[in-house]
């Protein structure tokens, strides 16, 4: 059951949980205490994607948002952390969980987990130089859950208190079961209680896990909160009948459409952005396949809006109501 000292974090999902989504969620269903923005990749050339760089900017975010960086280079991390400090960001997170071979094979993301000596050097230097609070998101390992056991003493020594574990291995990418036991094995070894992440798909999942691990107070939820934007507030005890759900979702969708259409170069990528959200939103509806097929077929903004008008009238799935 949700308790007053529980903290719900909206997970970073690249291409989806940007500030437009986060703000629209906060303005409608609500339920997240904080979030981490999707990672920004640093490059040797120093070139940074402007849109990603500004995503965690304090002045445009309604939800407390930690920024996230994917890198193995201290200087590049510190460079972005300073820019984010100047944008009012309070905390910055190092991504040590990204599973994609293109990233991990270059000793970044979960690829770092095979090299505890590199992790020690990287985290020690970041801790020394980082101008704002430094946090870490990690997996149990890349190949094997014994890997995190070598990282934990480093986390303890550096007193990194905001630490999230996605209870999977890098080699699983995002599939297969989460390893709750593997997560539990870390608890007595850590000086700080970590944030749990992985496969919380329903209120029942949250209640089961929070009963099983009463010492855990921070819970990060990703994909299920994109498929059912009411989930975080439902975990807190809010309930939705079909009418209330539909009204909130229409409002959320309206806000997102408006924001995407009114930002710079908006029209060119509006449909692509919205399609990425609908990859998840389709699950709200009873006939999700039919809904998504129609959305994919819309080739112009007008066609898309016509389809959305139809979609928003469709039956909402029992699975998202409570």
Residues contributing to the site for ligand FMN (CB under 6 A): 11-14, 38-39, 68, 95, 97, 137, 166, 174, 197-200, 221-224
CB atoms within 10 A of CB 59: 7
| Helix, strand, or coil (residue 119) | helix
Nearest residue (beta carbon) to ligand FMN = 222
CB of 226 to ligand FMN, least distance (A): 8
Q: Which of residues 80 and 224 has its CB atom nearest to ligand FMN in the complex?
A: 224
Residues 110-127 as b/e (b if ≥16 CB within 10 A, e otherwise) read bbbbbbbeebbebbeebe
CB of 236 to ligand FMN, least distance (A): 17
Q: Which of residues 36 and 295 has its CB atom nearest to ligand FMN in the complex?
A: 36
CB of 63 to ligand FMN, least distance (A): 15
Task: State the Cα–Cα distance between residues 206 and 2, nearest whole angstrom.
Answer: 8
Q: Which of residues 226 and 307 has its CB atom nearest to ligand FMN in the complex?
A: 226
CB of 313 to ligand FMN, least distance (A): 29
The residues with which 166 forms a beta bridge, in sequence order, are 139, 197
Q: Which of residues 90 and 246 has its CB atom nearest to ligand FMN in the complex?
A: 90
Cβ-count burial of 48 within 10 angstroms (0-12 exposed, 13-18 middle, 19+ buried)?
Answer: middle
- Is the Cβ–Cβ distance between 132 and 86 less than 8 Å? no
Q: Which of residues 58 and 174 has its CB atom nearest to ligand FMN in the complex?
A: 174
CB of 300 to ligand FMN, least distance (A): 26
CA 10 vs. chain centroid, Å, equals 5
């Amino acid at each position: 059951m949700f308790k007053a000292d529980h903290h719900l974090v909206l997970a970073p999902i690249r291409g989806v949980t940007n500030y437009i989504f986060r703000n629209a969620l906060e303005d409608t269903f609500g339920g997240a205490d904080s979030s981490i923005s999707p990672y920004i990749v640093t490059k040797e050339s120093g070139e940074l994607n402007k849109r990603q760089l500004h995503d965690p900017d304090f002045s445009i975010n309604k939800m407390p948002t930690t920024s996230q960086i994917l890198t193995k280079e201290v200087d590049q991390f510190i460079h972005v952390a300073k820019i984010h400090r100047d944008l009012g960001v309070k905390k910055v997170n190092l991504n040590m969980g990204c599973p994609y071979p293109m990233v991990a094979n270059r000793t970044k993301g979960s690829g770092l987990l095979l090299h505890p000596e590199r992790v020690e050097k990287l985290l020690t230097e970041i801790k020394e130089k980082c101008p704002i609070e430094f946090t870490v998101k990690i997996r149990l390992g890349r190949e094997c859950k014994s890997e995190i056991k070598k990282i934990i003493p480093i986390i303890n020594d550096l007193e990194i208190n905001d630490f999230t574990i996605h209870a999977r291995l890098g080699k699983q990418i995002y599939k297969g079961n989460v390893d709750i036991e593997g997560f539990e094995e870390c608890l007595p070894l850590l000086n700080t209680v970590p944030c749990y992440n992985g496969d919380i798909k329903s209120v029942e999942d949250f209640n089961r896990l929070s009963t099983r691990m009463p010492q855990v107070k921070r819970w990060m939820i990703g994909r299920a909160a994109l498929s059912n934007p009411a989930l975080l507030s439902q975990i807190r005890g809010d309930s939705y009948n079909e009418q209330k759900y539909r009204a909130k979702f229409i409002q959320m969708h309206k806000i997102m459409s408006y924001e995407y259409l009114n930002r710079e170069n908006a029209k060119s990528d509006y449909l692509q952005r919205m399609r990425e959200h609908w990859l998840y939103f389709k699950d709200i509806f009873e006939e999700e396949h039919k809904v998504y097929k129609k959305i994919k077929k819309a080739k112009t903004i007008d066609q898309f809006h016509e389809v959305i008008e139809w979609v928003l009238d469709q039956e909402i799935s029992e699975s998202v109501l409570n």
